[in-house]
Chain A
Amino acid sequence: MLKTFPKGGIHPSENKITSAKAIKRMAVPSLVNVPIEQHIGIPAEIVVETKQKVSIGQVIAKTGGFVSSNIHSPVAGTVTKLDKIIDSSGYKKQCIVIRTDAKDPSNFEEIEMPLKTDIELEPKAILQKITDCGIVGLGGATFPSQVKLNVKEGTNLDYLIINGVECEPYLTADHRLMLEKSEEIVVGIKILMKALQLKKAVIGIENNKKDAIGLFKSIIKKEDGIQVAALQVKYPQGGEKQLVRAILGREVPKNGLPLDVGVIVYNVGTIFAIYEAIQFNKPLIERVVTVTGKKLENPSNFWVKIGTPIKDLVAEVGGLPEGTRKLVNGGPMMGKAIKNTDVPVTKGTSGILVISEDEASRGKAENCIRCGECVFVCPMGLEPHLLMNLTEKGFYEKAAAEDIMTCIECGSCSYVCPSHRPLLDYIRFGKNIVKKLETAKN
């Protein structure tokens, strides 16, 4: 029996068209736009000036507080300007624009490193290195990794869970990484187990990636305490709370964290970034991005420098096809629609999805027929139809009492609604107002 979470969930068409495409290295872009807000929390503080020369991996923006992260230059070059550029959020955000020095050899050095299995650093030093290297959660939430590792003395912590679920349709970045860097990921897991003094770790992978499951199963035979859990294919299993429930049967309390049930969760991409940071002192300046879409000439997976404009990626897969109507930063369920291809790749960009005419528009919203589908698929046990109605009518306090803030915005409700009602749109709006009301109260 494959494990999964019991309540709710959906199974949209997987469309993993790039799962057999090996990760290619993108050519070094001539220009990068590096936003200082690539993580959840406080934006980083710029420490470079216009016209300043920067080397590859140099800190260009320093962590701005406890929940924040360093940002490094992805290329060697010159800072041309500090400008506000529209990022995937749709807002203009402060960016550091760097022109790549085409003559600097460090830009073109081979970055692939041999496997290094000995872990020399001690737990304290590991934590410091993760902070220095600007590692954030690469699954999409971009939560600064060192914050999670800062576990208080005496906390009952017994499991590390590695999220290799990749439940979003289309995306294959984590899948490819697991296939191509499996040994490295296992070392990364051991690094974290050492840092947290943990004895047990489980890699959770959905059963549509049987090759990755098999690969890890054969590698971990010689490892102590690491297991692989094959999971039933069900969205949103990559959600932390759903994943912990699926693998260990533990339910994270309402408004709580996995830590409350003794678990810490890291995405496989993050684990690999931590491996590189600890073993080779390499900061987070690149990541795997899936560039995909049904009509694309050559959809594929790439190693991409942070700050690369999305148009470079699109050009690499054969350009935007005729009839393109939507560009999504991320997967189709939780990704953000972006306005143009100047938007830069950031630490949280797991994929670029190009959607054409036939699938880009939403159906016309009709009356709710009270079928209850949204209630049945909600993995958090909420009543989306009710939350939408309460928000629409302005009953924000009632919506808060109905647990609107525990919504994880997975979009399952909007996905199934046969009347195409904008359920999640209203719930997001309601959450925003409830958050403001709560801040005002305190």
Chain B
Amino acid sequence: MSQPIIISASPHVHSSKTSKKVMYDVVIALIPAFLVSLYVFGFSALLLTAVAVISCLLFEYLIQKYLLKSEVTIGDGSALITGILLAFNLPSGLPIWMIVVGSLVAIGVAKMSFGGLGFNIFNPALVGRVFLLISFPVQMTSWPLPDGITGATTLGIIKEGLMFGDTMTNISAQIPSNMDLFIGITGGSIGEMSALALLLGGIYLLVRKVISWHIPVTVLVTMAVMTGIFWVINPEGYASPLIHILSGGAILGAFFMATDMVTSPMTRKGMIIFAIGIAVITVVIRLFGAYPEGVSFAILIMNAFVPLINTYFKPRRFGSKIKAKIV
């Protein structure tokens, strides 16, 4: 024995899963949606994503190295994901300095000021996006469409049309078909358009067991049921559930933002409550609020409830409250 024997408490074996692998699986899952955005928006999508990623990594590095004087952990993949998700939630063509400001808010305010990885209450990318949306509403809602002209998103057209008393039959002529929405030939934030690409990534995460089905499925099913009820009652006054699911940030939010481990509940029961909350708030904002889209707000609001959910929806302890079953 050349080196000393190690004494440590059990267990002496460990699964091969590491936080880093989890993070990079999420990055891999985002690749299909990124490719679609490159196809639709070309260089501007690449630029937007590159700026967001580089500035997120840089701000984390600077804060850890010079402000906190702590270990630099930008290689763990979490800032990389924040950068990509922030970019995915922004319209292509946004001024570069705004992207940088958004990254600073995401990393500096939402993540590092709470204590870094694992301690933040709110999803950093969403905090960055919502900060930009509130601060620069004009730039944040001018969406370049695939054909190069700037226009409103599907949800924006529907919201405006219904507000002026138009019927869904008339509005349908102005919005992309469900098939186009599914494939992603539409306007919107660069990463949220293609339901198909996002679902591919989502399935990858499910297969790799990075996420469980509880949050994404519950969010989408609850949204479909809620919007479905309104649609059945008044199909001319409300968009169909399919349009609601396929447009806006529903799928991106359900699979990639709401499932962020740090800011979602830690029990299955809690995840379902959390997901129902997100769906309800999203639908309420979309149907009755001032904004056409509400996924970001809904997730942030439910993020705030996570500690409470974790406290009140605990796993059932083995051997507690059992029904006596002795033969």
Contacts and interface: CB of A to CB of B under 8 A. Distances in A.
Nearest to B1: A324
Interface string A347-381: 00000010101011111001111111101101111
B6 A332 contact: no
Nearest to B320: A254
Nearest to B116: A367
A415 B15 contact: yes
Given A324-B1, A424-B10, A416 B318 contact: no
A249 B325 CA distance: 9
Contacts of A355: 12
B69 interface: no
A414 interface: yes
A409 B10 CA distance: 9
A420 B117 CA distance: 15
Nearest to B20: A418
Given A250-B326, A251-B322, A370-B118, A424 B315 contact: no
B8 A379 contact: no
B13 interface: yes
Contact of B19 (A369, A376, A381, A385): A369
Main secondary structure of the interface of A (DSSP, over half): loop
A191 to B, nearest CB: 24
A332 B317 contact: no
A36 B21 CA distance: 48
A379 B318 contact: yes
A60 to B, nearest CB: 30
Nearest to B23: A369
Given A320-B1, A369-B117, A333 B322 contact: no
Given A252-B319, A324-B1, A372 B266 contact: yes
A403 interface: yes
A336 interface: yes
A182 interface: no
A340 interface: yes
Given A7-B318, A370-B261, A337 B325 contact: no
Interface string B176-204: 00000000000000000000000000000
B118 A369 contact: yes
Interface string A405-420: 0100101001110111
A370 B17 CA distance: 14
B13 A371 contact: no
Contacts of A158: 326-327
B67 interface: no
Contacts of B19: 366, 369, 418-419
A326 interface: yes
Contacts of B46: none
Closest 6 CB pairs between A and B? A411-B11, A372-B266, A367-B118, A254-B319, A371-B261, A332-B13
24 contacts: A12-B15, A13-B13, A241-B318, A253-B320, A253-B322, A322-B2, A324-B5, A326-B5, A330-B10, A332-B11, A333-B11, A339-B5, A355-B12, A369-B261, A372-B261, A373-B17, A375-B266, A375-B315, A378-B315, A379-B318, A380-B318, A411-B11, A415-B11, A419-B118
